[in-house]
Structure 1
Amino acid sequence: MAPSIHPADLLSTLRHKHLTPAIVFLTSRRACDDAMQALALLPSAIPPDRQEAIARVLDGVTAEFPSIAEHPLRETVQRTGVAAHHAGHLPSWKIAVEELMRRGCLDAVFATTTLAAGVDFPARTVVITQSSVRKARDFTDLTVSEIQQLSGRAGRRGKDLVGFAVVTPSPYIDLRHIAKGLTGHPEPIDSQFVITYPMVLNLLKAHPLDHIQAILAKSFAQFQLDQRAERLQEKLDTLEVQMAPYGPRECTDWITQWHHFDTARRRKPHRPSVHKQDPPEVAARLPFLTPGRLVSLGKARAIVLREYRSRGQRSPMLTVLRSEGSITEIPVTFVAEVLDRTFEVKETRAYPWTTPETIQGLVDELAELPTRVPALPILVSEQADQIPDELIAQTLDDFPCPTCPSRHACQKDHPTALKLRQEIARTTKAIQALRTSLWHRFQEKVEVLQQLGYLTPAAQLTADGEWARLIRIDHSLLITELIRAEAFSAIEPALLAAVMASIAHDDDRPGAFPRASAGLSTVLNQVRRLAHELAAFDDPPLLRGDIAALTERWVGDPALTWIGLCRATTMAEGDMYRLFARTLEYLSQIESLRSSHPSLADTAARAIANLRRGVLEELP
């Protein structure tokens, strides 16, 4: 792969070919900043009249957003006619760059892929330098929708008859993936509907419990689940037609009868089988883990080739094919999710349990899979569906099979009939789970709220439920439990803001931060203990002490300037701005509890007043 094109050479070529203004999508914030630094070192500059036009636009934006008056990139943008735009910048600076682009003052903008969605950003040309994007700690291939969003920014309405999408050489690009994205169909829209504890409380505040299921049934999420259930119902109808020839014989349930007879016949008398009870969540998944099933192993995906039990412990195990082509053995407990996708697998009786041709085909299909594949909702029952070995007769005299006239037909048809019946049972369970999964999730939340005292046994709001429903943010259960435990009793505004910031922050990006005070460390330890206790009901937040210390310093020291705070940490300005904006949202939720917790609400109001200053005053 050829090396990446130097930003100066790329900009020169775009200008020479009359392909400006352009948006150059780079792999990271740092790549955007490095590109701007490289241009800042060049002696060349745009004509004076264009520099004056940029200065006038920036002065106009500065009048509304004073925080950009001394922005470090201002001089470079004015001299080169090029800017950077990414999440590490303050919103005010991004607004200024967008205004410059709309006025036609810039030749190019170096940006990350976050610019592709939700911003009116006209350009004649887009330059794609990557086929993957960093999400969390890993790089993930761009989806078809994301690639089309990037290329769709090319062409200005009313100015360009044609928009240009240019793909440049880069170590971070796969041309086949880009071509697939440009010509393929976008991924289907998946509902992001999540049932939360505040939602449950507010629904039960407004509606009786017996009306809730009908309300959930009208949601887009349930509509999509019903569509998946209808497709499975068509499959179930086909399976039942295939099952029809294997109807009742001398024994009404001849499949089970023959299975028990064959098990008793094969069992060795001197080695009685020991039945091991699987955990409910494992037992619920086992029927779905058939050859060809796609499963999620955390961040990786694999296809099941075989399900078996280990020797000795008799633990359920899987042989799976991973995306890189390796075949490994894993416990069923390693499976994070059972995905709603199956592949054709030609089974064999020996390793690797399928043919080499099938393996190659499966590897290719894994590579072509979309980024998002819906998970199969599986209902977990406390009662095992399998019949324990103790209930299977141990002697052949207990069965009529040896003298039954249908014995040979049963022996011949049993493998096919059993496989069909198991598939019918799996499909029926999947349909049931899809039809009722939202309602079951709602009921699970109701049971937790009843257990914690926010709801009565009749699903009516208690006194605590009445005020808890007003906390409509992430980790609301942790916050309401902290309030009930009086963790915020007589707390200072800076400490309250710091704790809310640690709960609100969901990024584990490393950096340099101020050290937490002794008082903050004590409070955070109490928050962590409670979060651990509630982990069975709600995923705990990161609760980073360094993020809390940064917030405490800003709120607790009114004399500290924004520039002074930036010098105390390596955290990007845009990240700090979003952190404090989210903290303000969390504090405003606590401030709304004036009728039930007036003292705490007053502390939250003072924390908001101390937090919202300087750059934060520009918040709408």
Structure 2
Amino acid sequence: MRSGTQLDAFTRQLSFPLDPFQIEACAALEAGHGVLVCAPTGAGKTVVGEFAVHLALESGRKCFYTTPIKALSNQKYADLTGRYGKDAVGLLTGDTSINSDAPVVVMTTEVLRNMLYAESPTLLGLSHVVMDEVHFLADRFRGAVWEEVILNLPEEVRLVSLSATVSNAEEFGAWMEAVRGDTTIVVDETRPIPLWQHVLVGRRLFDLFDAKVTPTGGRELVIDPDLVSHVKRRLALDRMDSWEPRGRGRSSDFRPLTRPEVVARLDEEGLLPAITFIFSRAGCEAALSQCVRSRLRLTTPEQTARIREIVEKHTRGLPRADLEVLGYWSWREALERGFAAHHAGMLPAFREAVEELFVAGLVRAVFATETLALGINMPARSVVLERLVKYNGDTHAELTPGEYTQLTGRAGRRGIDVEGHAVVLWRPGVEPVDVAGLASTRTFPLRSSFRPGYNMSINLIDRMGAAQSRALSERSFAQFQADRSVVGWTRGIERNERALGELRERLGGADGEMFEYIRLRERLRSRERLLERQKRADRRGAAVQSLAALRRGDVVGIPVGKRSGLAVVLEPDQDRDDPRPLVLTEHKWAGRIGAADFPVPAHPLGRMRLPRHVDHRTARGRRDLASALRSTGINAPRKPKRAKSGREDAEVVELRKALRAHPCHSRSDREQMCRVGERYNRLDRETESMRQKVAATTNSLARTFDRIVALLTEWGYIAAGEQPEATEEGRRLGRIYCESDLLVAECLRRGVWTGLTPAELAAVVSCVVYESRQDADATDRGPTAAIRGAMAETVRVWGEIRAEEVRHKLPPTREPDGGFVTAIYQWAGEASLVDALVSAGSGGKELSAGDFVRWCRQVIDLLDQVQSTAPDPSVAKAAAQAVGSIRRGVVAVAAT
């Protein structure tokens, strides 16, 4: 490192030496390059971002430090103010504005995006932007914001992008180079703290990998043989237990440990503090309750006193009357004993207290959802995974290697621990080889989620015109990745076309008789395949219909497969698309059957009386029920015969006749030439498939942009002409940043929300931002006639927008959700927190205090936008008053 450089001066301020990757990135930054740094969690990437802050301050210019979530912004703001003082650092997170004109401003990425579109004067003098956790651009809900910022930042701004380790860093870096100019890519895959992998089976803690075997010469890691043999014995004992009276043959060593027992076991091994990832909020709270009910305590009296002080500091602004409903006393008791939960449903003040206590070493066991893994500075000595499956919003899916790496990356505190530990809790179904696959794979490809939207499109057109806006969408990382796949398909098409030409020549050319014969034969086969698919579809349709009609107690015959024989329906399933009733067969197998098991419809052969509660999960229950089924005297039908084909298709008859009459049909080398023809046809189909993929992919984002422009032009948000431009209504739309931006703009333009009181306006506005976590009964249509009328009209407008989106082939705007209407109406009307939370749960959807605050803040954010964009002054005034009414009590505390 050269003396006299800014890097040298910066390094002298640090209490630790820089790692090689940090020096490389900082040197590139000082040389005027942008940088992309990809390194594991906890490796110290943020030092590079802090050096960007140093460079900006030393040159008398500005640096913006962006993060994906408010918690990270708050944390970074605290770090930077601790170093540079409060006068030099500001904070902007949507609902918080502190010293926004400072030379260094920490903000959420959405705030910077909005500044760019508004051409805010705050951007003047900006020299550096740090994008922490830039891999968040893969997020399917908010990831597009990162690309909007990267594409719209002025060219002279140096971009510092900090990412977790991704397997396509070079691809991402190549795109950054293309759109931002000179960019240095720095990749470091070395964890600063070694990570040991373990599996906890009962009370025994095993290494996942054999420590005696060091992988050399390309050899892979070897699973610990003691772990493998122990798991086999455990499974063997479980099988024995299923045949013996309950309790015999089962070793107490294999009893699943309770959560307090797991924490105590980790404490015995010296592995605390620990974060246990549980993929549900309810699971985190349940784990915390179990620990509080146990006798376990992880703190000393001195630590307890200090914990109480920190808790008081974070919660002193909470109304005393609300403490009971917030669960304050049990939460504080858990903290004083060294336990905590951490998830997005917690009150922000509670969550921030947990973070401070954990970093201070006062809380030693945290039960958290995966949101904690997103960059929040809460490292631990060990990380525990209870399960390797999580709900991803659509279904329960196995963890990916990237998710496993991100979660376990919290283990190992730099400067405190010499090593970190990842512990997987074993349970039946968890295979050591699968855990090893997760732990040893480092594939985490970054995939863009960028898609043009209404607000984005109108802002781009207003700033740079339609042509440049269209070109900008083509420069996105999403199109960059799509185009790279097009390159491969294009090469494949060229290769196939050469091969097709050679095959055509062998067949006598495209105008030859044999080529004509081959084409005729292909038409026949295509028609026959189509008819066969139709038959299969008809058979499946009949099977689906018959399965959906089955009732509990119906006895059916499974005609084919290894489950063939009699079966009784335990739980019917009336799913119209894929009914899968639960059955028990005469052979003691219980499970769900589907249309694939029935080449013929499933007609009941008889009925069987079932007890009210059927225990099909135990061997005894299955055995008794199967015996009763066999004793009914109902006989299973014979294997069904293939149905005779009906009247032959007329087109098939004509094609066969034409084939037999063709001159080539009698050629001696016909079959040999037909084999050449089959190769030609197969290759031709493959080539056509690639052509369709290329056509669908090339300029796909630009086509979406064009469709959005067409819709907005029809609706008057864009003025048509050679140079389309935003109208006054369009500029209003450009200042609305929410998922349902066009719906909000249209409701304001049509006066749908005019005449509502502040509390009523808050209620109606909530339906376009609130989204129920589960499919609960959303029958809440509002407590007043004005609310009900405005909501009905809002839904009608949404229906019009959705119809236009279908016509223009655009992604759908989400339907309004009335699940938060009564709760926010009561809160804005000065109701107590208890009453508001009770209203929030009245539709069957329990809402935590943290979720209540979060949705209140989102309603406030949209009301602020309504205030600044509403053409009706009375609506703007009502929105401003509503914001004041909502921002009180726990909501006001959360915003400070």
Instruction: Report the alpha carbon displacement of residue 141 of structure 1 after superposing the two structures with TM.
Output: 1.4
TM-score w.r.t. length of structure 1: 0.74
Structure 2 gap ranges (5+): 1-234, 236-253, 542-560, 563-576, 579-595, 598-650, 806-810
Q: Is the 8 A contact 1:32 1:112 kept in 2?
A: yes
SS in 2 for 1:140: strand
SS in 2 for 1:592: helix
1:20 maps to 2:246: no
Change (3 A) 1:115 1:173: farther
Change (3 A) 1:314 1:44: closer
Equivalences for 1:138-217 in 2 at 5 Å? 138-170=395-427, 175-217=432-474
SS in 1 for 2:819: helix
Provide the residue aligned with 1:252 in structure 2: 510
Provide the residue aligned with 2:782 in structure 1: 516
Q: d(CA) in 2 for partners of 1:307 and 1:97?
A: 64
Q: d(CA) in 2 for partners of 1:437 and 1:95?
A: 43
Instruction: Report the alpha carbon displacement of residue 83 of structure 1 after superposing the two structures with TM.
Output: 1.0
1:93 maps to 2:350: yes
1:14-60 Cα shifts (integer Å, max 9, x gaps): 22221111111224222221222222223454321111121222233
Q: 2:700 aligns with which of 416, 437, 453?
A: 437
Change (3 A) 1:421 1:512: closer
Provide the residue aligned with 2:837 in structure 1: 566
* Corresponding letter in the other structure for 1:98: E
Instruction: Report the alpha carbon displacement of residue 461 of structure 1 after superposing the two structures with TM.
Output: 2.4
Q: d(CA) in 1 for partners of 2:284 and 2:524?
A: 71
1:239-283 Cα shifts (integer Å, max 9, x gaps): 23433421356553669733553378899xxxxx99xxxxxxxxx
* Corresponding letter in the other structure for 2:746: E
Provide the residue aligned with 2:480 in structure 1: 223
Instruction: Report the alpha carbon displacement of residue 529 of structure 1 after superposing the two structures with TM.
Output: 2.2
Change (3 A) 1:403 1:128: closer
Change (3 A) 1:63 1:549: closer
1:602 maps to 2:877: yes
1:502 maps to 2:767: yes
Q: Is the 8 A contact 2:864 2:883 kept in 1?
A: yes
Q: d(CA) in 2 for partners of 1:37 and 1:266?
A: 66
Change (3 A) 1:7 1:488: same
Of 165-174 and 423-432, the range deviating more from structure 2: 165-174
Change (3 A) 1:599 1:104: same
Q: Is the 8 A contact 2:766 2:818 kept in 1?
A: no
* Corresponding letter in the other structure for 1:581: R
Provide the residue aligned with 2:521 in structure 1: 262
Q: 1:450 aligns with which of 713, 722, 731?
A: 713
SS in 1 for 2:767: helix
Change (3 A) 1:413 1:263: closer
1:77-131 Cα shifts (integer Å, max 9, x gaps): 3431111111221111111001001111112111122212221102111111110
Provide the residue aligned with 1:551 in structure 2: 824
Provide the residue aligned with 1:239 in structure 2: 496
SS in 2 for 1:517: coil
Q: 1:465 aligns with which of 727, 730, 733?
A: 730
Q: d(CA) in 2 for partners of 1:454 and 1:221?
A: 26
1:552-573 Cα shifts (integer Å, max 9, x gaps): 1111x22x23344335443111
Equivalences for 1:8-407 in 2 at 5 Å? 8-43=260-295, 45=297, 46-62=299-315, 71-136=328-393, 138-170=395-427, 175-248=432-505, 250-252=508-510, 257-262=516-521, 309-311=533-535
Provide the residue aligned with 1:297 in structure 2: none
Q: Is the 8 A contact 1:124 1:155 kept in 2?
A: yes
* Corresponding letter in the other structure for 1:258: Y
Q: d(CA) in 2 for partners of 1:169 and 1:434?
A: 44
Instruction: Report the alpha carbon displacement of residue 153 of structure 1 after superposing the two structures with TM.
Output: 0.8
Q: Is the 8 A contact 2:274 2:382 kept in 1?
A: yes
Q: Is the 8 A contact 1:309 1:316 kept in 2?
A: no
SS in 2 for 1:182: helix
1:510-556 Cα shifts (integer Å, max 9, x gaps): 4899883142222222222222232231524343333111111111x
* Corresponding letter in the other structure for 1:11: V
SS in 2 for 1:23: strand
1:485 maps to 2:750: yes
* Corresponding letter in the other structure for 1:435: T
Of 221-230 and 166-175, the range deviating more from structure 2: 166-175
Q: d(CA) in 2 for partners of 1:225 and 1:133?
A: 29
Q: RMSD of the TM alignment (CA)?
A: 3.8
* Corresponding letter in the other structure for 1:578: R
SS in 2 for 1:24: strand
Equivalent residue pairs, number: 517
1:420-459 Cα shifts (integer Å, max 9, x gaps): 1121121122123222111111111112212222223333
SS in 1 for 2:725: coil
* Corresponding letter in the other structure for 2:510: T
Structure 1 gap ranges (5+): 268-272, 275-289, 291-305, 318-325, 328-333, 336-350, 353-387
Structure possessing the higher radius of gyration over alpha carbons: 2
Change (3 A) 1:418 1:44: closer
Q: Is the 8 A contact 1:264 1:393 kept in 2?
A: no
SS in 1 for 2:695: helix
Q: Is the 8 A contact 2:504 2:515 kept in 1?
A: no
Of 22-31 and 118-127, the range deviating more from structure 2: 22-31
Instruction: Report the alpha carbon displacement of residue 172 of structure 1 after superposing the two structures with TM.
Output: 8.3
Change (3 A) 1:577 1:250: same
* Corresponding letter in the other structure for 2:307: I
Provide the residue aligned with 2:674 in structure 1: 411
Of 64-73 and 471-480, the range deviating more from structure 2: 64-73
Change (3 A) 1:57 1:252: same
Q: Is the 8 A contact 2:521 2:659 kept in 1?
A: no
Instruction: Report the alpha carbon displacement of residue 407 of structure 1 after superposing the two structures with TM.
Output: 7.0
Provide the residue aligned with 2:583 in structure 1: none
Q: Is the 8 A contact 1:23 1:125 kept in 2?
A: yes
Q: 1:582 aligns with which of 849, 858, 870?
A: 858
Instruction: Report the alpha carbon displacement of residue 12 of structure 1 after superposing the two structures with TM.
Output: 1.6
Q: d(CA) in 1 for partners of 2:350 and 2:684?
A: 63
Of 30-39 and 504-513, the range deviating more from structure 2: 504-513
Change (3 A) 1:449 1:256: farther
SS in 2 for 1:84: strand
Q: d(CA) in 1 for partners of 2:525 and 2:323?
A: 84
Higher relative contact order (CA 8 A, sep 6+): 1
Q: d(CA) in 2 for partners of 1:105 and 1:112?
A: 20
Of 213-222 and 513-522, the range deviating more from structure 2: 513-522
1:400-435 Cα shifts (integer Å, max 9, x gaps): 867999977753421110111121121122123222
Q: 2:814 aligns with which of 531, 536, 541?
A: 541
Q: Is the 8 A contact 1:203 1:212 kept in 2?
A: yes
Instruction: Report the alpha carbon displacement of residue 504 of structure 1 after superposing the two structures with TM.
Output: 0.7
Q: Is the 8 A contact 1:513 1:549 kept in 2?
A: no
